[in-house]
Structure 1
């Protein structure tokens, strides 16, 4: 389930500060914070457009700087899992169907992905998913109350392969420190990647966070609830690796 983050191109990323020195006088303008995503263009299929129009009002939550009431949002009191970057949503839908006693909030800025997940929600009658089409960092900061999440899923975020772009990776100490504040005691953080250098960085960063403890001796076996994607299955057939990391917030 790849997050909607493209590899760097020659086009500057408008949401991320440039690697080049600022021009004279730029210090007077406010700097934009590094976001958890880069928006990319994509075509919307007919079914995605229809799902967005018909199901968006019910399942897509508006972003606003106010704490989200989980029970009011889902109509029940259940454990809530946040997913950051659900891509086209196939794995998200499958997980939500397999865990009907949990509620899921997905953050994805890529509109075709939002439309695709809404289409699956409608076709498969999945009531326990809500979506933010917004930057997950801002959703966390403004709408997720502290110590409330039962879990967080971050599956196959953009690895930003080039060394000079590694700073754009989502899993960084400052972000993890912020993220863990929203996990309830005993809540888990599950990351997965198919890029070994990023897996190594993830393990280092997560292990260094004092409020987290590893559930495995290093990398974790793939939990049963995370489905094998077609892309992942193809990679495994070709001998590529996939690394899962599952950490819990200390009680």
Structure 2
């Protein structure tokens, strides 16, 4: 789906009806795993990994407890997700990413930190939102630095589209938070336009549309590089509200 390193490979699932794959914001790109990442996928996946299933996963059973849950879509190398899971042992954290080297990197970090509140799904996030996560099962969603697809002809491939926002609203509980960040101003403005138009969310910064960087979002190496190049970063925060149909 997305990645702070602008790499987002995946694989098509031909068994999935085309209507369920209408949002496609990533392409298959080469990415070689290191030996350590390959080891992590082989040895640590059974501990942290969750295979995709077209049925809702029982999160209480998966984590062995009842707790609030957060979801990060397109975690890249996993820096932000790892830091968040470490800082919030009271929350169960789920990461979705299609880039296997990034998944392997996160698994290694989770092992080193001894985390028990983290699980990873290596699959198309759209299908995870549609099928694997139950309605209102998540209290917090992070989407940081999704691929901006900066060329105009590629804007249709951007992750944040009305259809995706509906899926986010489906799994996010009322009162839950949706946090996003991008270093492309045009994409930031599109994000705001698309999500502001949804009756399922209210902008937490209605006056300006954007919020200051949340202290819980660490500066990733990608963002630090952007700062050195003089790039701006735009953060958005939304609250899930009751829709007229609810």
TM over 0.5: yes
Q: Check conservation: 1:149, 1:184, Cα contact below 8 A.
A: yes
Q: Distance in 2 between matches of 1:34 and 1:175?
A: 7
Q: Distance in 2 between matches of 1:14 and 1:52?
A: 17
What runs of 5+ residues in structure 1 fail to find an aligned partner? Answer: 8-12, 16-28
Q: Is 2:223 the counterpart of 1:235?
A: no
Provide the residue aligned with 2:67 in structure 1: 78
SS in structure 2 of the partner of residue 100 of structure 1: coil
TM-score, with structure 1 as normaliser: 0.87
Q: Distance in 1 between matches of 2:91 and 2:18?
A: 40
SS in structure 2 of the partner of residue 186 of structure 1: strand
Provide the residue aligned with 1:244 in structure 2: 235
**Alignment root-mean-square deviation, CA:** 2.1
Provide the residue aligned with 2:3 in structure 1: 2
Provide the residue aligned with 2:123 in structure 1: 134
Q: Distance in 2 between matches of 1:139 and 1:128?
A: 19
Bigger mean CA deviation after superposition, 185-194 or 172-181 = 172-181
Provide the residue aligned with 1:202 in structure 2: 191
Q: Distance in 2 between matches of 1:223 and 1:145?
A: 27
Provide the residue aligned with 2:91 in structure 1: 102
Q: Distance in 2 between matches of 1:39 and 1:124?
A: 30
Q: Check conservation: 2:11, 2:28, Cα contact below 8 A.
A: no
TM-score, with structure 2 as normaliser: 0.89
Q: Distance in 1 between matches of 2:39 and 2:192?
A: 41
Q: Give the one of 130, 151, 173 matched to 1:162.
A: 151
Q: Deviations over 1:147-167 (max 9, x none)?
A: 121011110000001001000
Q: Check conservation: 2:4, 2:145, Cα contact below 8 A.
A: yes
SS in structure 2 of the partner of residue 106 of structure 1: strand
Provide the residue aligned with 1:26 in structure 2: none
Task: Give 1 or 2 for the bigger CA radius of gyration.
Answer: 1
What runs of 5+ residues in structure 2 fail to find an aligned partner? Answer: none
Q: Give the one of 94, 97, 101 matched to 1:112.
A: 101
Q: Check conservation: 1:4, 1:108, Cα contact below 8 A.
A: no
Bigger mean CA deviation after superposition, 225-234 or 181-190 = 225-234
Q: Check conservation: 1:5, 1:38, Cα contact below 8 A.
A: no
Equivalenced residues, count = 233
Please state how far the C-alpha of 1:234 moved relative to its aligned partner.
Answer: 2.9
Q: Distance in 2 between matches of 1:202 and 1:211?
A: 14
Provide the residue aligned with 1:44 in structure 2: 33
SS in structure 1 of the partner of residue 44 of structure 2: helix
Q: Deviations over 1:37-86 (max 9, x none)?
A: 32322111121111111110111101111111111111111111111101
Q: Distance in 2 between matches of 1:137 and 1:14?
A: 13
Q: Check conservation: 2:98, 2:122, Cα contact below 8 A.
A: yes
Q: Deviations over 1:176-197 (max 9, x none)?
A: 0221111101001111000110
